[in-house]
Amino acid sequence: MKKKIIIISGDPNSINSELIFKSWKRLNTSVKKKIYLISNFELIKKQFKILKYSIHIKKVKNIETHVNDDQLKIINIDLKFTNPFKVPANKASKFVQNSLDTAHSLALNKNVSGIINCAIDKSLLGKNKIGVTEYLATKCNLKNNSEVMLIRNKKFSVSPLTTHIDVKNISKKITKKSIINKVKTINNWYKKYLKIKPRIGVLGLNPHNAELRKNSEENTIIIPAISKLKKLNINIKGPLSADTIFINEFRNYDIVLGMFHDQVLAPFKSIFKFDAINTTLGLKYLRASPDHGTAVELIGKNKANIDSFLNCISFINKFGK
């Protein structure tokens, strides 16, 4: 039995239906057979109609339901709406969270390779505007900040130690324990799935690594964490200077761990554009998502780039076996 791939349609007010349609037209039959979409059947039906998309869709009750190979299988999540591209925030929030919860439950099944979530506005996941990484980590009852947001392609990866928090709170969240736990998760994942011992670079927090001043985070937290990880035979180096590493030095590493979200995501996206996926390591299953947002301004303009979404499907299909 081929393992299933669970896709979450995500934010209804987005370009996600365009991504799903365009990608479906590009997939081969063997991959289509594995895919189950978590969404609202009527929402997808009406969005496709508005966008003048024509593919066969079928409402199914569970991932054991078999249909024709050319039919997109949809596991229905309740959603009441009037305009399919302007769903009120309260309804969209409930729909998105129910979709994630359903996908989480399904992903615990041994017959599931992993899940892919299309873009979601973080405001729909609660008042703290956490991301899907944190949402699913909570569902998996992960402890000690062991989950990892990894932005990757076949050439290179980056990971932020802290994810969706305000800049003013970053330094409070950087601890020796969190660095050690996340690097161990990264190292174990590379060894298990990619069969390599990764070369890991760790950035400092402050400009010029605070000149390694005695009371800096570099001296009191980051360097001691790196020293501990080296004793575990992990191939790691740092703290590296964030202002120059992405000129060329990053090519010496398989992955660079930064201290905060934009410290590594901004330069990564500048270099690689849409050639990237967002993955969460350390969960009880594989999870990936396209490395872009909801792009509301592109709805109906037929301009959505599907490369990242297709890479997500390829990733789950390859490593989830």
The b/e string for 175-197 (b: 16+ C-beta within 10 A; e otherwise) is: ebebbbbbbbbbbebbeeeeeee
Residue spans of the domains in the chain: they are: 1-142+283-321, 144-277
pLDDT in tens, 244-297: 999 999 999 999 999 999 999 999 999 998 889 999 998 999 999 998 888 889
Mean of the per-residue pLDDT values for the chain? Answer: 92
CATH class of 1-142+283-321: alpha beta
pLDDT in tens, 31-54: 999 999 999 999 999 999 999 999
Query: Does the 144-277 domain belong in CATH 1.10.645.10?
Result: no
pLDDT in tens, 101-130: 999 999 998 899 999 999 999 899 977 667
Check: CB of residue 159 under 8 Å from CB of residue 257.
Answer: yes
- Say if residue 77's pLDDT is above 60: yes
Q: What is the pTM of this model?
A: 0.90
